[in-house]
Structure 1
Amino acid sequence: MEVRIVTTLLFMITTTYYPRVQSDKLSFDTYHNYDDLTKFVKKITEEYSNITSLYSIGKSVQGRELWVVKITSVIDLLTVPNIKIVGNIHGNEPIGRELIIHLIEYLLKESVKNSTIQSLLQTTVIHLFPSMNPDGFEMSRPKTCIHDHRTNSVGNRGNARMADLNRDFPDIFYYKERSYQPETKAVVNWLKSVPFVMSLSLHGGSLVANYPYDSSSNSTQYKMKKLNETLQLNNFDLLFSKLSSIDPSVNDNVFYESLTPDDDVFRYLASAYANAHPTMHKGYGCKESVEFKGGITNGAAWYETSGSMQDYNYEMHDCVEITLELSCCKYPPASDIITYWYENLEPLLLWTKQVQRGIKGIVMDRQTGAPISNAKLMILGRDKTFNTTENGEYWKVLLPGPYKLHVDARGYESKTIHLKVPGSMDPHKVDKPLTLNIMLEPYQPEPSTVRNTNLYYVVSRGHSELTDVLRLTNPKMEHSTVNIYELGSDISDFGEDDYTDDVEPQSVLSSAGSASITLSSLILALWCYASLL
């Protein structure tokens, strides 16, 4: 307790870089309920309408709006990164909720006089979502923790239907039929509509920065899922192999790391936050039986769970999200809010700056200059693709160093680019991302392909599948001759790269017969066959 008091006093004294909030609207000695929150966000966004907007991403089970405040001073938003901070996913963990409410006020008041905040708002779009679970919050109440460092669980962790929202997202390792909660659906649709680059999820009950994955392919749950898939294949050799991999003597309370392809970035962001926090980096802030080296942990290494929001953010939308446990008490007394504010203000601001690391740009058609949407990009060596927006934009948080960027888009020649991300590993020294606009050449078939080429299709016995759908890139192909060959091997042995236009068919396929027909006849035959299925 003495350490926290001293820490608070130091933060109050050293406010030249991050001035203390002189609040005439919000109080630090109370938790703000839904009505208070609604009145506040409506009033302050009206007052600062030049740089803010208020919107709702949906409603809770009990009909409460899921309010988000968007803050930026940028006029032209093209290639400007979006970040978000989400609080109160668990109803009885409201410290994050209060921090976000006060952060809204802080950023707006400081935007007129603080050069650091002005620079942040001129380069970033910030979405602040104080309460993902307003129903759960209204059903909870604070309680003093025993011996100060013990967690408590007073109130409702889940939403109004008692569902844990941080177990409710689609999981990459463990698929389960479920009816998703309205709050979860709202976040899923939100992620589809805004191309978020980075995100924070604020929790309580411990003191650590947690990074993906939370779920793991090593879990018994995941292995049972794969076993069920094997049973459906009727492959008994594979079935016995799967069964032998499930050791009933294994203690499921022993967990192992489950790492993402961007593990270096996640560890860096988690460490940057923990090191900026006065006590988190020590790794034992809550006197738990487990210590967190450097104040960070991989989610699955701490304890495995499926359906977490941070895993879904990263896997489905390439949004780099980490989960912050900010208070040993899940719902500490309101008198402690001011302490948590001063402990986390600098780390929060430092984290927002890290979105300017890495690369960004627009993928365009070289001939027309038009943006290419849904182009797929990948950092070679990292098994994770990310897509361009409808405006052709892309972002990727990367640490300084050399990389190879591969770009692919339908109808265009693929491209691999060698690049070097500049900068320092010091989280306080972040300049701006490497801007790399990429021009792709439209795919142009060779002239001989249009005039003379026979397009070869592989039909597998018993599958009735065609590989490589006709590339109708030129009207002259409408009357091209097509050779069809039956092949004894399985169709899965052939992919898109098996299409060939310069090799004799006998040298590639074991011919069991062929027929030469026109394209129009082929399409008619396929349609007739499909109608019989």
Structure 2
Amino acid sequence: MGNLYATQPIGREITIDLARHLIHGHSIGDPQILTILNNTVIHVIPVIDTAFEQIWGDYPKELTTGWKKPTLYTCNNITADFKQVGDQIIGGVRVNGGLKSVATAFKHMLMEEKFDLVLNIEGGSGGIIYPKTGAKFELYGVYAEAYLKSAKGGVQCERNLKGTDDEITSAFYREYNVPVLTAKVSCCDYPFVGDIPYIWRQSLAPLMTVLTFTTTGVQGFVQDEKMAPMRNATVKVNGLDRTFDVTKTSAHFKIMLPPGQYTFEVSCHYYTTTTLGVTVVQGQLSFVRVILTKSTTINVETDTELTKPLVVDGAVTSGIRGYVKDNLNHPIPAALVTVVEQNVTVLSDDNGKYGVPVPPGTYTLEVSASGYHKEIKYMSVDDVSVNPQIVIFTLVKNTSVWGMPRLVFVIFMGFVCFMGLGLGLLCYLGCRKRSEYGLLSQNAFYEDFRDFDESKEKELFSRPLPEKPVTRPYFDDDDFSDADVSSDDEDDIVLLQSKQ
């Protein structure tokens, strides 16, 4: 990556040139570059601090020969009157506007991506800066020596300008568990444009040396006895202070290491820690497959740690020690052990062991863990001079669902599903039966009235035809006799005629 500081544009230029070099080498089939790209995922981030346009100074544009070493480095006068992104790493400094969001995004990227190695390119001085871990084996110090050897001692400068230093590098490693190697490729933080080609050619070999570190080391998988991936396993190399996690998909791990003999410890909760030796050869990734077996049961009688007195601030004190385990005698890590009277809660470690200092007295202990029923015990703590009280908790799996036993829950849910299917079937049949009523057929709604065919219609409520056809009208004057006509009707007719 480049431009952790806006005043370091040389990092941006060299980072882009390095990316172009890798792309071109891949296109022509360069063996070294193909090996690197086949074994490594490289993230190229040319610019971190985007505030380059806000800096001020003198920016001469004169061009020099470029391909030859300058007789004298002439640095542009470039300064910044604001706090840059690199200043955010050590904390306590706030920036305004867009730089604040850039710094926050950069920190999130470090936490989420979990890079194995970050190569930061800067100017302003010579050499390389790496994290000093204080471990027995300084892995990144070995990488720094290889870089300087390839650079033939590195750039020799009379001054050191502001940039990534040991304090910032330590903050990267301490807070984000990310090792950062900062290559100082130029005495100027902002050299002349014409000097950049020479700086690039001078920096290419040592930068490629750093990238080849990714092709040497150890990789493998962690599995159980049934060849299932152990996604929560961790891998530790003896002599290093860093623990490596496996991937959450296939439990794969890859660790960059220089050639040599190494001892690995692979561990996971409820499984026995496995130790193995591996030989690392230059330019190769040694492959190992680690099989973990279920851990043995807890043996309280042989554990001498339980009888040791509790020590607080250098003074021996009374207290309680013990284990939290399940009914199969397997340890339960991260169980909550609470002393009710003291309002004190501690967590059991990876082996299910816990210890809590308390003064002499009578106490109530509550232990709870995810997926288990809570257990309560009452006990007394004697005088300080005696060994701690040992209390072993055996938790029972909580198989209830929604407060019901699992079998009752299964029966209840089966009944609910059956009733739901029955109601759904009744609703379907009812809706289908209602759709059959109507004087018109269903097809009539989709037909054109011009092509309407009456033969397709069904009259649901038609009267049956009589056996004999009707040959006379249903009403005729012959049906009425003269007696049926009243005199009142005749009077009405006469009156109407008289008025006319």
- TM-score, length basis structure 1: 0.53
For residues 455-495 of structure 1, the C-alpha deviation after alignment (integer angstroms, 9 at most, x for no partner) is: 9967386343255385869x9x749x7533354799xxxxx
Q: Give the match's secondary structure for 1:261.
A: coil
C-alpha distance in 1, partners of 2:136/2:330? 43
Partner of 2:236: 378
Equivalent residue number for residue 124 of structure 1:
40
1:92 counterpart residue number? 7
Displacement of 1:446: 7.2
Do the aligned residues in 1 keep the contact of 2:124 with 2:160 (CA within 8 Å)?
no
* Structure 1 residues 399 and 384: alpha-carbon distance in aligned structure 2, compared to 1, 3 A threshold: same
Query: Match of 1:165?
Result: 85
* Contact 1:92–1:137 (8 Å) recurs in 2: no
The 5 Å alignment of 1:147-158 reads 148-149=72-73, 153-156=77-80
Secondary structure of the structure 1 residue equivalent to 2:188:
coil
Map 1:105-116 onto structure 2 (within 5 A). 105-113=20-28, 114-116=30-32
User: How far, CA to CA, are the matches of 2:124 and 2:17 in structure 1?
Assistant: 20
2:322 corresponding residue in structure 1: none
Q: Which amino acid aligns with 1:104?
A: A
Please say which of residues 197-206 and 176-185 is displaced more in the overlay.
176-185
What's 1:398 paired with? 257
Cα distance change, pair 489–369 in 1 and its aligned pair in 2 (3 A): farther
**Structure 1: segments with no counterpart, 5+ residues:** 1-85, 214-258, 291-297, 424-429, 491-505, 521-533
Higher Rg: 2
Q: 1:450 is matched with which residue: 327, 338, 351?
A: 327
Contact preservation (8 Å) 1:413, 1:443: yes
Residue in structure 2 matching 1:434, options 281, 286, 291: 286
Contact 2:127 2:153 in 1 (8 A): no
- 1:359-374 map, 5 Å: 359-367=218-226, 369-373=228-232
**Structure 1 pair 471–382 and aligned structure 2 pair: CA distance change class (3 A):** farther
Match of 1:277 in 2: 151
Distance 1:95 1:452 in 2: 61
Shift of 1:177: 8.4
CA contact (8 A) 2:222 2:252 kept: yes
Q: Deviation of residue 95 (structure 1)?
A: 1.2
Structure 2: distance between partners of 1:149 and 1:402: 44
SS in 2 for 1:131: coil
* Contact 2:264/2:278 (<8 A) preserved: no
Kindly report which structure 2 residues correspond to 1:370-519, keeping only aligned pairs within 5 A, or say none: 370-373=229-232, 375-391=233-249, 392-410=251-269, 412-423=270-281, 430-443=282-295, 450=327, 459=339, 462-468=342-348, 478=373, 482-487=376-381, 508-509=388-389
C-alpha change, 1:274 and 1:482, in structure 2 (3 Å) is same
Structure 1 CA distance, aligned partners of 2:22 and 2:285?
23
Counterpart of 1:384 in structure 2: which amino acid?
A: R
- The structure-2 alpha-carbon separation of the partners of 1:393 and 1:154, relative to structure 1 and needing over 3 Å to count, comes to same
Count of paired positions: 337
State the match for 2:51 in structure 1. Answer: 135
Question: What does residue 8 of structure 1 align with?
Answer: none
Root mean square deviation of aligned Cα: 4.4
Q: Distance in 2 between matches of 1:517 and 1:450?
A: 7
After superposition, what is the alpha-carbon deviation per residue over 1:337-396, rounded to whole angstroms, capped at 9, x for unaligned? 1001100112111210112233222323333513414x3332234333232232323232
Give SS of 1:335's match: helix
1:158-197 correspondence runs (5 A): 162-169=82-89, 171=90, 176=92, 181-197=100-116
The whole-number CA distance in structure 2 between the counterparts of 1:274 and 1:322 is 12
Q: Distance in 2 between matches of 1:338 and 1:133?
A: 23
User: Deviations along 1:86-125, whole A, 9 cap, x unmatched?
Assistant: 1011112111211111222222222121232222222221
Task: Give the Å deviation of 1:278.
Answer: 4.7
1:132: how far off? 0.6
Structure 2, unmatched stretches of 5+, are 63-69, 300-324, 353-366, 399-500
Tell me the distance in 2 between the aligned counterparts of 1:486 and 1:184.
54
Q: TM-score if structure 2 supplies the norm length?
A: 0.56
Is the CA contact 1:458–1:486 (under 8 Å) kept in the aligned structure 2? no
Output the amino acid matched with 1:459.
Answer: V
Give the whole-Å Cα distance in 1 for the aligned partners of 2:297 and 2:43.
45
